[in-house]
A = this chain, B = another copy of it.
Amino acid sequence: MPGNSFGTLFRITTWGESHGEAVGVVIDGCPPEIPLNESVIQDMLERRRPGGSFVSSSRKEPDRAIIMSGVFKGMTTGTPVMIMIKNSDARPESYEKISDLFRPGHGDITYQAKYGIRDWRGGGRASARETVSRVAAGAVAKAVLEHEKIYVSACTVELGGIKAVTHDPDAVSGNIFMCPDTKAALKMEKLVKDVKKSGDSVGGIVEITANGVPVGLGEPVFDKLDADIAKGLMSIGAVKGVEIGVGFKAAILKGSENNDPITRRGFLTNNAGGILAGISNGDEIVVRVAVKPIPSIEKEQKTVDLSGKERTISVRGRHDVSAIPRINVVCESMVSIVLADHLLRQRAVGR
């Protein structure tokens, strides 16, 4: 299969370039009779929309979701749901002058090598704008999951080295970083402003959790629930690492410390992050991803052009200082899509 589809039974196919006509997604396999309308999708899109704050790009995209198919009188019909979002604030001309330059940290150089041709307008298909389609699909996945009382959310647990120390779920919506630690959020704010001034960017860590997931989701042995989550998250451009439960910390624990003891009322701890042998165990699913700093920076960097000549580049477009917090809803979407998919897959198992 080519690479623009994801999922097995709840299967999405995205299309579109950053500065083309539009971006969009076909969702095939969405169950029938799920209530769905454009405002449900719009609410999710608002969370990744640029222009929200000083962290984000000043690109003004209204990002209006249009449902083109698969919904009849407010309900899904079981046929493909196509959602389209027009690119209204595309300014390809601003990219013309760097059209022959490979931006460090970007896919310019690898797309050129892979295909022998590339749409250089804003990164084309490799642009983070592609994630709009993921979020639109994520909104539909969440509608399917919430129908079964499964809830997925994401928050920022680290930014530019500043860690959330406390973890108050109610704090998340109270700051622009979606950080569960209000004090840490204030420090993040100061840092981001400083970094912005210096023409640089920062990375961080996002945590995604899912509650209400029934025991039994995940398909041994390759399509384990954590394996599919890892793939879904690592397929987001800025993500460089994924861990489940205690994750990398498992490397320094003893078996007696890492195993979650089982009691009649469930597991005493959740080091496993809600997944055992690739199958959900009924506990909260906990995943974290490492997000790299935005590669587009004003600071001058070394690079080469199409002809191989050495040059320098200073990227001055309308870029975010950090992919966080806009990326959070993208992560949440990918986990939701994986869960919706495995929910349907487990139905086929027949239990």
CB <8 Å contact, A291 and B250? yes
A174 within 8 A of B: no
A125 within 8 A of B: yes
Q: Which residues of B contact A63 (CB under 8 A)?
A: none
Which bracket fits the contact residues of A? 35 or more
CB <8 Å contact, A234 and B242? yes
One digit per residue, 1 when the CB lies within 8 angstroms of any chain B CB and 0 when it does not, for chain A 76-104 equals 01111110100000000000000000101
Q: Which residues of B contact A258 (CB under 8 A)?
A: 105, 203, 292-293, 295
Q: Which residues of B contact A308 (CB under 8 A)?
A: 264
Q: Which residues of B contact A11 (CB under 8 A)?
A: 1-2, 5
A241 within 8 A of B: yes
A118 within 8 A of B: yes
Nearest to A227 among chain B residues (CB) is B235
Q: Which residues of B contact A350 (CB under 8 A)?
A: 31-32, 344, 347
CB <8 Å contact, B276 and A223? no
CA distance A17 to B81 in the complex (A): 10
Contacts known (A158-B251, A278-B107); A114 close to B261, Cβ less than 8 A: no
CB <8 Å contact, B245 and A243? no
A140 within 8 A of B: no
Kindly provide the distance from the CB of A58 to the nearest chain B CB, expressed in whole angstroms: 18
Kindly provide the distance from the CB of A21 to the nearest chain B CB, expressed in whole angstroms: 5
| Chain A 282-300 interface residues, beta-carbon cutoff 8 Å to B | 282, 290-297, 299
Q: Which residues of B contact A226 (CB under 8 A)?
A: 234, 240
Interface of A is mostly: mixed
CB <8 Å contact, A13 and B28? yes
Kindly provide the distance from the CB of A87 to the nearest chain B CB, expressed in whole angstroms: 10
A124 within 8 A of B: yes
One digit per residue, 1 when the CB lies within 8 angstroms of any chain B CB and 0 when it does not, for chain A 268-279 equals 100011001111
A200 within 8 A of B: yes
Contacts known (A240-B244, A351-B116); A28 close to B5, Cβ less than 8 A: yes
Q: Which residues of B contact A348 (CB under 8 A)?
A: 9, 29, 344-345, 347-348
Kindly provide the distance from the CB of A94 to the nearest chain B CB, expressed in whole angstroms: 17
Report the stretch among A44-52, A66-74, A165-173 that lies at the interface: A66-74
CB <8 Å contact, A310 and B264? yes
| Chain A 213-249 interface residues, beta-carbon cutoff 8 Å to B | 215-216, 218-224, 226-235, 237, 240-249
Q: Which residues of B contact A4 (CB under 8 A)?
A: 26, 28, 79-80, 219-222
Contacts known (A21-B68, A227-B231); A303 close to B248, Cβ less than 8 A: no
Kindly provide the distance from the CB of A162 to the nearest chain B CB, expressed in whole angstroms: 9
Contacts known (A4-B79, A33-B117, A220-B126); A277 close to B107, Cβ less than 8 A: yes
A254 within 8 A of B: yes
A186 within 8 A of B: no
Other-chain residue from B116, B245, B294 in contact with A33 (beta carbon distance below 8 A)? B116
Contacts known (A107-B278, A203-B251, A293-B254); A118 close to B231, Cβ less than 8 A: no
**3 A-B pairs closest in CB distance:** A107-B277, A3-B219, A3-B223
Give 6 A-B pairs besides A16-B69, A20-B68, A262-B302 with Cβ atoms closer than 8 angstroms.
Answer: A3-B223, A16-B80, A22-B69, A104-B261, A226-B240, A241-B242
